[in-house]
Structure 1
Amino acid sequence: MMNAYQIKGFYGAAALALSLLTLSASAKVVPAGCFTDNMVLQQKAKANIWGTAKPNSQLTIVPTWDKHKYQVKVAADGKWTAKVATPAYGGPYQIAFDDGEKLTLNNVLIGDVWLCSGQSNMEMTVGNGYGGVNNVEQETKDAAKYSAIRMIKIDNKTAFQPQQEVPVKWAWRECNSETVKDFSAVAYFFAKKIYDEKHIPIGLINDNWGGTVAEAWTSGTSLKSMPEFAEFVKTAEGGLTQADIDARYKNEVRQWINRSMTGDPGFTGTNATWAQADFNDSAWPKMQLPNFWEQAGVANYDGTMWFRKVVNVPADWAGKDLKLNLTGIDDYDVSFFTGQEVGHTEQFFYPRNYTVPGNLVKAGKNVIAVRVFDNGGLGGINKGPLNLQLANDPSKTLDIAGEWTYQQAVPLIKLEQPPVHANTPNRPTLIYNAMIAPILPLTFKGVIWYQGESNADRAEQYKTLFPLLIKDWRSKFNNSNMPFYFVQIANYDCKDQPPVADWPELRFAQTGTLAVPNTGMAVTIDIGEGGNIHPHNKQDVGLRLALIALAKDYNEQVEYSGPTLSSKKINGKDVELSFSHANGLMSKNSTELKGFFVAGDDKKFYPAKAVINGNNVTVSSPDVAQPVAVRYDWQNNPDGTLYNKAGLPASPFKTDDWKDIRL
């Protein structure tokens, strides 16, 4: 039930945009883009407000909650900043600005403001992005009751230098059944739970970008402490341009491709043996393309795969330039025609349209070979058209879909990761410069963060990088104890796929980040979807983040964490594990505990029997006479059943420090 600060009207997106356009055209006072109608200001704070106005003028700011007049001197460059004292939560209010011409911001609430950041699982919206959430019709209907929840969307931008102008994709919106469809789902369900419990207006700064890495969100100042990023940052600070980036990237990719030939059976030195016309591939299996190889009989394989196709070129095409069109490769490729490389692309599903020089084109038998690099999940040549065309007459086309031969080459774990693309946001500090730096003066309560999938191939590095990001933001926002609550990445991938160390190790790196003060982690190992990296259950993600905030910031006596390993003790063939947050340990949805594995000195893990004893769990295996190590849920998509009474799952863990060990 809404109370005195319930909003009394809805300003539609079009009306708001028109209003802001009119204001910017006619009023000299222009607050920064994060200050608009419908906004939420942080309660009980000296909230920073800034913007531009008539140079050297005197600006008066008057909020209606106390009618206090703030007198602000506008600088010669037109910039101004003010600290405005805010009361306890309430509203709606107005804020009036006057430098000779007046501007009023309406429908302003005072409450708690949270910065909501990360990659696509934070970006995913309630009703529009990535397919929407579970029970979306009811959720959008219920949103009409939550107009005290507000959101602003920061636009996706990059910059080589820290920026000051706030890039706003859409201004503050109050929640209703229509606007909520574009709200970050995790952020909305987080706010909804807090509002249900505390009836405090919640402002959400939606500042995220799908598929991005943590280093892109970290300041150059901090990244210079990590050697792997320092050179790029220093170069950027010295005036790096996009043209410089493009040239460097082109060189790095060539070097990466050349290095990847080592150990690949398809090459003899730098000669692409498997691409030659006279290579005998009669023993190779066959596959219909376009297709994902996992869906065509090659399960549980990531890495490089070679494909070959014999094509009969018409006599009148001989000696003429052709176009080789391969439009759906997952992820990257190097393509050959009669043994000669004709192109390579390091972009997922980006159209390949390679020119085949006429001197390679013979009448009759020719061989096309494609070396595909798959970085995880499904891989292959999955979308059409697949064809050859005469370069000077595209109406003449030769279909090359159908039967190809194929052969596995090098598994992913043995491959070096490719360079970061020249035009991607995933370059050190570039997102920070454009999307975080401009809001550094903003006053807010804390951060919720959902990211990690894009760093999963560098889990060891993440152990340093992620705590660095948190400390960096606290320093830059001038709040050394700023709450920072994050989501541990969810279960994902096929159940029968052999576990790749990256995802469990990334989760473990996230768990280790809890050593940073005033952090919290929402475990989601039980609510992912094996075939969908964007699971639809965002309700529980938001809820679990909200439980952390309620316990740590709102003085609520609630359990906010699942069982967390605190110690182990070996007693003969048994290993006794002790847990914190262990009130009411239980096996959920199963009569026996699942997910535990035990190993001896040989580092071979076996499924373990696990028995609950109070706050402890005792594990053992008949295959391990002298146990040394225990792992729990150490897979991409595990089946662990350990929960506490609050219904929160145990976090995956390991008691060893072994590397590259498969269960």
Structure 2
Amino acid sequence: MIPFSYSHDGTSPRLLKGLLYGFLAWCGVGGYFLRAEVRLPSVISDHMVLQEGSQVRWWGWADPAEKITIQSSWGESIEGVADSGGRWHFNMSTPKAGGPHEVRIAGTNEHVVKDVMVGEVWLCSGQSNMEWSGRQQLPQSLEEGPLAVLPEMRFFEIPKTTSQHPQDQCEGRWKVCSPETMPSFSAVGYFFGKRLHQRLQVPVGLIGAYWGGTPAEVWTPEKVVVEHPALLEAAGELEPFAWWPKDPGLTYNAMIHPITPYHISGVIWYQGESNVKTASTYRSLFTSMIQSWRDAWQQESLPFYFVQIAPFAYDEPMVAARLREAQTQSLSLPETGMVVVSDLVDNLKDIHPVNKRDVGLRLAHLALDQTYGDSKAGPHQSPTYQSHEIRGRKVRIQVDHAAGGLVAREDRITGFELAGVDRVFHPASVSIEGSALICQSDQVPQPVAVRFCFSNTAVPTLFSQQGMPLNAFRTDDW
């Protein structure tokens, strides 16, 4: 019998030594089983949609220097190794639109990503008017739900999340569009995607990253705001609320940054209501945000199409008018586009207009025209102010994007105001001359400035022949 001696706590030193040797041997021989498995981000998963005809990125994590092999059912394959930090990423060509495909990603273990479609991928982002869906009992979502049998349309919705630092991973999974999944996805996004799918006849993938109430600052990288004194000051003026974040970068870090390696065709955006009180800096903030996203995606010409905020009875006068003006001015950034929805409001006391179908359709027609060259898909371009000329008591306004002339939907055209040197605005009467307007007011014998629907709640009565509302404008900067 082997004699045992015991330590003061009753444990045998020989036993401890044997356990230690056994553990070290297991680590040396069986440690292989402790190696990190190949892992994928959640956005690379079953039912995903890849951008057609592109170099798309595949990425994930593994052991440092681990060999990774990717094989696709369309004939492309690639090999490489993880870097010293255990990260890997490779680019692979995608074929023309179609599917379903499979993609095998192998290292020490293997992932088979199934039911992969190739088509068009768009990001849908913003605040509540982008988020609104059947979850909020939106009638159009509930009505459309039973009809939403679109197996080639897919959704990836990112849960509301914040982070102080940019993240590499987010939660979520791809879902096939069906009567069960459609009602909980963005209504604007769904109607946008459905129209693209109908017109292009290709699979469509929609990524949803939205959060009601959020200002644009939270969707902008913190550095962009902090390094711009005016933007930083405006961010400090935002009111805190219990239901959404307000600090720069928080949702960008957690909900946008993780998907920036994923190749997309473009972005649709509906936001601005939470920035009306800081409208003077919104143009700079918004265009900086767009540029930062393009930089992150490494797509300098990434299309970015947005919705102008709708009429609503805000507490402070003129704040929405100034925000809409800032949105219009943001169109100076290349590869952007805006749809006007001031005519799609049935309740000026509801900040969430219920007609989301026409919003989505206008965005889709804009994308089909500007991104895909389909100018006949449907109307989207609102008439806009081009120039004006003062002729005595009258002001002649030239309007752009009004082919065929302008039409009034009411007996009396409303929303126009004139002011003289006293800067006091008075209602003006208007007559139509093709794509030009003649404004005058008995109360303003010497006009110097003209405004149209420049208020929080004004709803236009002037439209293009294609049914698009004249965009609000002013010729002064008072």
What's the TM-score once normalised by structure 1's chain length?
A: 0.64
Aligned to 2:362: 544
Deviation at 1:36, TM superposition (A): 0.9
Aligned to 1:563: 383
Deviation string 1:430-479 (CA, Å, 9 cap, x unpaired) is: 22122222222121111111110000011101121111111121122211
Q: Structure 1 pair 57/183, CA: closer, same or farther in 2 (3 Å)?
A: same
Pairs within 5 Å for 1:161-240:
161-165=165-169, 167-168=170-171, 170-228=172-230
Deviation string 1:303-357 (CA, Å, 9 cap, x unpaired) is: xxxxxxxxxxxxxxxxxxxxxxxxxxxxxxxxxxxxxxxxxxxxxxxxxxxxxxx
Contact 2:192 2:361 in 1 (8 A): yes
Deviation at 1:187, TM superposition (A): 0.8
Residue 427 (structure 2) pairs with residue 619 (structure 1): no
**Of 138, 146, 156, which aligns to 1:141?**
146
**Of 437, 455, 458, which aligns to 1:635?**
455
Residue 119 (structure 2) pairs with residue 111 (structure 1): yes
Aligned to 2:305: 485
Residue 102 (structure 2) pairs with residue 99 (structure 1): no
Deviation at 1:56, TM superposition (A): 2.8
Q: Structure 1 pair 418/184, CA: closer, same or farther in 2 (3 Å)?
A: closer
Look up the SS of the partner of 2:74 in the other structure: coil
Q: Structure 1 pair 213/232, CA: closer, same or farther in 2 (3 Å)?
A: closer
Deviation string 1:507-554 (CA, Å, 9 cap, x unpaired) is: 000000011111100101111331211111001111111111111111
Aligned to 2:328: 511
Aligned to 2:17: none
Deviation at 1:229, TM superposition (A): 5.1
Deviation at 1:76, TM superposition (A): 4.1
Look up the SS of the partner of 1:147 in the other structure: strand
For residues 50 and 446 of structure 1, the distance between their equivalents in structure 2, rounded to whole angstroms, comes to 20
Contact 1:56 1:78 in 2 (8 A): yes
For residues 35 and 65 of structure 2, the distance between their equivalents in structure 1, rounded to whole angstroms, comes to 18
For residues 186 and 238 of structure 2, the distance between their equivalents in structure 1, rounded to whole angstroms, comes to 31
Deviation at 1:221, TM superposition (A): 2.9
Residue 120 (structure 2) pairs with residue 120 (structure 1): no
Look up the SS of the partner of 2:361 in the other structure: helix
Deviation at 1:220, TM superposition (A): 2.4
Deviation at 1:231, TM superposition (A): 8.8
Look up the SS of the partner of 2:151 in the other structure: coil
Look up the SS of the partner of 1:31 in the other structure: coil
Aligned to 2:428: 608
Aligned to 2:86: 78
Task: Report the residue type matching 2:371 in the other structure.
Answer: D
**Of 151, 159, 163, which aligns to 1:155?**
159
Deviation at 1:31, TM superposition (A): 1.4
Look up the SS of the partner of 1:148 in the other structure: strand
Deviation string 1:379-438 (CA, Å, 9 cap, x unpaired) is: xxxxxxxxxxxxxxxxxxxxxxxxxxxxxxxxxxxxxx5754699511012221222222
For residues 536 and 423 of structure 1, the distance between their equivalents in structure 2, rounded to whole angstroms, comes to 22
Contact 1:597 1:608 in 2 (8 A): yes
Deviation at 1:117, TM superposition (A): 0.9
Aligned to 2:138: 132
Bigger Cα displacement from structure 2, 557-566 vs 626-635: 557-566
Look up the SS of the partner of 1:161 in the other structure: coil
Task: Report the residue type matching 1:94 in the other structure.
Answer: E
Contact 1:54 1:99 in 2 (8 A): no
Task: Report the residue type matching 2:308 in the other structure.
Answer: Q
Q: Structure 1 pair 423/488, CA: closer, same or farther in 2 (3 Å)?
A: closer
Contact 2:55 2:92 in 1 (8 A): yes
For residues 175 and 547 of structure 1, the distance between their equivalents in structure 2, rounded to whole angstroms, comes to 21
**Of 353, 367, 374, which aligns to 1:535?**
353
Residue 277 (structure 2) pairs with residue 457 (structure 1): yes
Deviation string 1:244-265 (CA, Å, 9 cap, x unpaired) is: xxxxxxxx9xxxxxxxxxxxxx
**Of 96, 100, 105, which aligns to 1:88?**
96
Residue 51 (structure 2) pairs with residue 42 (structure 1): yes
Look up the SS of the partner of 2:173 in the other structure: strand
For residues 238 and 102 of structure 2, the distance between their equivalents in structure 1, rounded to whole angstroms, comes to 52
Residue 63 (structure 2) pairs with residue 63 (structure 1): no
Task: Report the residue type matching 1:502 in the other structure.
Answer: V
Task: Report the residue type matching 1:446 in the other structure.
Answer: G
Q: Structure 1 pair 133/29, CA: closer, same or farther in 2 (3 Å)?
A: farther
For residues 484 and 581 of structure 1, the distance between their equivalents in structure 2, rounded to whole angstroms, comes to 20
Aligned to 2:26: none
Pairs within 5 Å for 1:5-44:
28-44=37-53
- Runs (5+) with no aligned partner, structure 1: 1-24, 234-251, 253-416, 659-663
Contact 2:409 2:462 in 1 (8 A): no
For residues 471 and 72 of structure 1, the distance between their equivalents in structure 2, rounded to whole angstroms, comes to 31
Task: Report the residue type matching 1:105 in the other structure.
Answer: V
What's the TM-score once normalised by structure 2's chain length?
A: 0.88
Contact 2:406 2:435 in 1 (8 A): no
Deviation string 1:175-223 (CA, Å, 9 cap, x unpaired) is: 1111001111111111111111111211111011111111111112322
Aligned to 1:358: none
For residues 421 and 120 of structure 1, the distance between their equivalents in structure 2, rounded to whole angstroms, comes to 14
Pairs within 5 Å for 1:397-436:
420=240, 425-436=245-256
Contact 2:420 2:448 in 1 (8 A): yes
Pairs within 5 Å for 1:261-660:
420=240, 425-493=245-313, 500-528=317-345, 529-558=347-376, 559-658=379-478
Contact 1:567 1:579 in 2 (8 A): yes
Contact 1:229 1:428 in 2 (8 A): no
Q: Structure 1 pair 142/460, CA: closer, same or farther in 2 (3 Å)?
A: same
Contact 1:27 1:101 in 2 (8 A): no
Contact 2:226 2:232 in 1 (8 A): yes
Look up the SS of the partner of 1:631 in the other structure: strand
For residues 190 and 214 of structure 2, the distance between their equivalents in structure 1, rounded to whole angstroms, comes to 21
For residues 152 and 535 of structure 1, the distance between their equivalents in structure 2, rounded to whole angstroms, comes to 24
Deviation at 1:228, TM superposition (A): 4.5
User: What is the CA RMSD across the aligned residues, in angstroms?
Assistant: 2.3
Task: Report the residue type matching 2:281 in the other structure.
Answer: Q
For residues 390 and 230 of structure 2, the distance between their equivalents in structure 1, rounded to whole angstroms, comes to 40
Contact 1:142 1:177 in 2 (8 A): yes
Deviation string 1:61-92 (CA, Å, 9 cap, x unpaired) is: 111122x2211212344321111110111111
Task: Report the residue type matching 1:69 in the other structure.
Answer: S
For residues 475 and 234 of structure 2, the distance between their equivalents in structure 1, rounded to whole angstroms, comes to 36
Deviation at 1:588, TM superposition (A): 4.4
Deviation at 1:142, TM superposition (A): 2.0
For residues 565 and 138 of structure 1, the distance between their equivalents in structure 2, rounded to whole angstroms, comes to 37
